[in-house]
Amino acid sequence: MTLKNGISSKVVEEKIAAIKEEVEEQGYRVKSDKDIYYDVNFKQFYVVVQDGQKVLCIIEPSQLIGTMDRTKIVNTFLNQSEEADFYD
């Protein structure tokens, strides 16, 4: 089956399996495929682990490049929101 963007579902399944394997190698577990997000602009995967308390950033081919705790994510979002309000 081919998806809207021209990628086959088999390719998507293979990428998800590779991401899950990398996450497990780092000592975490993916609860659901819906916890894996792909950033098209930066070609990175973001994977939510530890019940949303941590996000792993993985680049292709399945290489962990960083982690971020939930508190940092919230603080970063709040800071960006304040800057956005300032410039509007």
Looking at residue 9, its pLDDT comes to: 83
pLDDT tens column, 47-87: 999 988 888 888 876 788 888 887 776 666 666 544 433 33
Quote the CA–CA distance of 33 and 12 in Å, as a whole number.
Answer: 11
Query: Tokens in use for 42?
Result: 């930066």
Q: What is the pLDDT of residues 4-58, one digit of tens each?
A: 666 788 888 888 999 999 999 989 999 999 999 888 888 888 899 998 888 888 8
CA 26 – CA 47 distance, rounded (Å): 12
H-run or E-run covering 66:
strand 63-69
Question: What whole-number distance in Å separates Cα of residue 69 and Cα of residue 73?
Answer: 7
How far is the C-alpha of 27 from the C-alpha of 12, rounded, in Å? 23
